[in-house]
């Protein structure tokens, strides 16, 4: 490699080649070397990813599925398996993070690495790239394309030039001229609208864009104009942030609903809240997770939004624990002269719990309540969600209050535990 001028960063953009399709080919050897098309299977589905074998038939992502079927009828058509891709992506992130602490997983199938500091440690750029590619191929069985440049913007553009399994290095000395022949929509963030606007100004390539005075671009595009001006020159100062592996635990599960009519009646609100908590709890148990933070959201008639969170002593997957905390938060909402028009509950700070029906090796005081929740889930799964509910929600299902048989349901069975 020619010398990198001191003071210039070395940024890698790592793009996983045909990621979804590659993951599918990796876990099913029979799909290797064959066209694979991943996407929505319904009438109106679109292609999420096409393997390189499928691309040679003109299939590309965002193409309607029927069109893909017409062009490449013998391909393997697979539904999107988000969890498998997320898992593969997580493993890839772990591998990439070993090469530098500055690693930014920008999306499920790409990442930026600032390797300025790591270069010497890994014996230079060529060796570093070989290690990254080798480790990803060995451990995940997929190939990646890498763009190398002094900044994120150019690295991202460059990774696209040599796919699949390619490497493109744009040396700082080659900038900005090396970009000049590119069409303007090669810049991330330039869509059809900007492209057409620029075309009306006679601007089609980055070289032409670079000749437009900055002030003129700012007049036409506002602050976006400054970005276009810098981008056409291959300039981008955005840093690659430190990688934070804890990010996943910040995900949340939430449900909200706009009330049929605005109200400040606590009993009505609590009843809706309980139904929402059951929904959230059910989704938590389904995902085999537990949550530690409960968030209540209330939107008032004047659209003012209240959100309050509280962290539990220990993570839970139980509806009643979520509800207990959320209703406590509800009592703290200051309605003033307003009423509630929307109510919602969310849980976050998620950790792995056991899935529904998982038995424990040791005695566990929590176990009995968990079992009850799981038993309810099992009934709901088999007979539908309306088959089992809490006494408090019963009148929603239009069961007559006079019906003597319902008296037994008046007491919430959970209260007895």
Partner 1 sequence: MLNVSCTQTELYEAVQTVSHGVSGRSTQPVQNNIYLESTADQLRLVATDLEFISLEAVINASVVDQGAVTVPARLLTDVVGSVGASEISLRANDNSMLTVEAGRSSFLIRGMSAADFEMLPPMEDALEFELTQRDLHSILSQIVFATSRDETRPILTGALFNISPGGLEVVATDTYRLALRRMTAEIPIDEPTSAIISERALNEILRILEPESEEPVRVSLTDSQVSCVVGNVTVGSRLIEGQFPNYEKVLPDSSDRRVTVDREGLTDSLRRMLIVAREDANRIVLRGSDGELTITADSQDVGHAEEQIPATLEGEEPEIAFNARYLLDALQAITQEQVVLELSQPLAPGTLKPLDSDDYLYVIMPMQIM
- Active-site residue, 110 included: yes
CA 189 from chain center: how many Å? 19
Question: Would you count residue 219 as binding partner 1 (CB under 8 A)?
Answer: no
Instruction: Please check whether residue 113 is in contact with residue 11, taking contact to mean a CB–CB distance below 8 angstroms.
Output: yes
Nearest one of 143, 195, 153, 186 to 32, comparing CA atoms = 143
Give CA–CA dist 176/153, Å, rounded.
12
Query: Which range binds partner 1 by CB under 8 A, 59-67, 97-105, 185-193, 328-336?
Result: 97-105
Q: Which residue from 124, 288, 336, 413 is in contact with partner 1, where contact means CB under 8 A? A: 288
Run of H or E residues at 340: strand 340-352
Give CA–CA dist 268/273, Å, rounded.
9
Binding residues for partner 1, how many (CB under 8 A)? 38
Radius of gyration of the chain (CA): 27
Q: Which residue from 40, 45, 64, 101 is in contact with partner 1, where contact means CB under 8 A? A: 101
Give CA–CA dist 14/159, Å, rounded.
7
Question: Would you count residue 241 as binding partner 1 (CB under 8 A)?
Answer: no
| Cβ at position 28, least distance to partner 1 in Å | 7
Question: Would you count residue 211 as binding partner 1 (CB under 8 A)?
Answer: no
3 state DSSP class of 100? coil
Site string for partner 1, 28-47 (x = CB under 8 A): x-------------------
| Cβ at position 102, least distance to partner 1 in Å | 8
Run of H or E residues at 159: helix 152-159
DSSP, res 319: H
Annotated catalytic residue, options 24, 53, 110, 320: 110
Q: Which residue from 30, 43, 83, 415 is in contact with partner 1, where contact means CB under 8 A? A: 83
Q: Which residue from 242, 311, 386, 407 is in contact with partner 1, where contact means CB under 8 A? A: 242
164 cis-preceded (ω within 30 degrees of 0): yes
| Cβ at position 400, least distance to partner 1 in Å | 31
Q: Which residue from 355, 396, 403, 411 is in contact with partner 1, where contact means CB under 8 A? A: 355
43 vs 83 by CB, closer to partner 1:
83
Q: Which residue from 181, 351, 395, 407 is in contact with partner 1, where contact means CB under 8 A? A: 351
For residue 306, report the phi and psi dihedrals to the nearest 5 degrees.
Answer: -105, 125
Question: Would you count residue 27 as binding partner 1 (CB under 8 A)?
Answer: yes
- Give, in order, the Cα–Cα distances in Å from 220 to each of 9, 127, 224: 31, 45, 9
Residue in the block written with tokens 């891709």? 85
38 vs 273 by CB, closer to partner 1:
38
Nearest one of 415, 416, 225, 400 to 320, comparing CA atoms = 415
Question: Would you count residue 138 as binding partner 1 (CB under 8 A)?
Answer: no
Question: Would you count residue 84 as binding partner 1 (CB under 8 A)?
Answer: yes
| Cβ at position 121, least distance to partner 1 in Å | 5
- Give, in order, the Cα–Cα distances in Å from 65 to each of 23, 47, 347: 20, 6, 36
Query: Which range binds partner 1 by CB under 8 A, 63-71, 160-168, 281-289, 389-397?
Result: 281-289
Written as six digits, the tokens of 190 are 């330039």
Question: Would you count residue 237 as binding partner 1 (CB under 8 A)?
Answer: no
Q: Which residue from 358, 387, 399, 413 is in contact with partner 1, where contact means CB under 8 A? A: 358
Give CA–CA dist 44/80, Å, rounded.
14
Site string for partner 1, 291-320 (x = CB under 8 A): ----------------------xxx-----
Residue in the block written with tokens 């276009």? 228
For residue 61, report the phi and psi dihedrals to the nearest 5 degrees.
Answer: -70, 155
17 vs 377 by CB, closer to partner 1:
377
Site string for partner 1, 382-401 (x = CB under 8 A): x-------------------
| Cβ at position 5, least distance to partner 1 in Å | 9
Question: Would you count residue 22 as binding partner 1 (CB under 8 A)?
Answer: no
Run of H or E residues at 294: strand 289-300
User: How does DSSP assign 162-231, residue by residue?
Assistant: STTT-EEE--GGGTTGGGTTSBGGGSTT--HHHHHHHHHTT--BHHHHHHS-HHHHHHHHTHHHHHHHHH
Q: What count of other Cβ atoms lies within 10 Å of the Cβ of residue 22?
A: 27
121 vs 201 by CB, closer to partner 1:
121
314 vs 402 by CB, closer to partner 1:
314
The residues of the shown chain that bind partner 1, judged by CB under 8 A, are 6-7, 27-28, 81, 83-84, 100-102, 116-118, 120-121, 242, 285-286, 288, 290, 313-315, 351-352, 354-362, 364, 378, 381-382
Q: Known catalytic residues?
A: 110
């Amino acid at each position: 490699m020619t010398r990198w001028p001191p003071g210039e960063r070395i940024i890698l953009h790592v793009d996983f080649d045909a990621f979804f399709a590659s993951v599918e080919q990796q876990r099913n050897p029979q799909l290797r070397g064959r066209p694979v098309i991943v996407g929505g299977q319904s009438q109106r589905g679109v292609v999420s990813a096409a393997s390189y074998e499928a691309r040679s038939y003109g299939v590309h992502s965002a193409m309607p599925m029927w069109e893909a079927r017409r062009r490449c009828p013998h391909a393997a058509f697979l539904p999107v398996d988000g969890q498998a891709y997320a898992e593969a992506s997580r493993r890839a992130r772990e591998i990439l993070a070993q090469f530098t602490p500055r690693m930014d997983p920008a999306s499920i199938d790409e990442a930026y690495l600032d390797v300025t500091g790591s270069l010497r440690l890994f014996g230079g750029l060529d060796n570093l790239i070989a290690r990254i590619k080798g480790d990803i191929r060995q451990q995940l069985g997929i190939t990646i394309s890498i763009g190398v440049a002094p900044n994120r913007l150019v690295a991202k553009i460059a990774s696209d030039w040599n796919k699949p399994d390619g490497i493109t290095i744009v040396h700082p000395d080659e900038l900005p001229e090396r970009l000049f022949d590119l069409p303007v929509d090669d810049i991330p963030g330039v869509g059809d609208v900007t492209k057409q606007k620029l075309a009306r100004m006679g601007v089609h390539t980055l070289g032409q864009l670079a000749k437009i005075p900055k002030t003129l671009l700012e007049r036409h595009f506002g602050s976006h104009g400054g970005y276009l001006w810098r981008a056409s020159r291959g300039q981008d100062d955005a840093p690659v942030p430190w990688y934070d592996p804890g990010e996943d635990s910040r995900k949340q599960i939430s449900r909200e609903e706009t009330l049929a009519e605005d109200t400040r009646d606590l009993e009505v609100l609590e009843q809706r809240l309980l139904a929402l908590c059951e929904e959230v709890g059910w989704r938590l148990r389904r995902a085999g997770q537990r949550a530690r933070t409960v968030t209540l959201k209330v939107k008032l008639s004047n659209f003012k939004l209240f959100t309050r969170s509280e962290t539990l002593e220990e993570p839970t997957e139980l509806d009643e624990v979520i509800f207990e905390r959320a209703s406590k938060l509800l009592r703290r909402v200051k309605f003033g002269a307003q009423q509630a028009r929307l109510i919602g509950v969310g849980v976050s700070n998620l950790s792995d719990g056991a899935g529904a029906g998982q038995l424990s090796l040791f005695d566990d005081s929590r176990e009995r309540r968990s079992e009850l929740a799981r038993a309810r889930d099992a009934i709901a799964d088999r007979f539908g969600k309306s088959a089992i509910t809490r006494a408090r929600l019963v009148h929603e299902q239009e069961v007559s209050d006079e019906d003597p048989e319902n008296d037994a349901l008046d007491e919430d069975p959970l209260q007895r535990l």
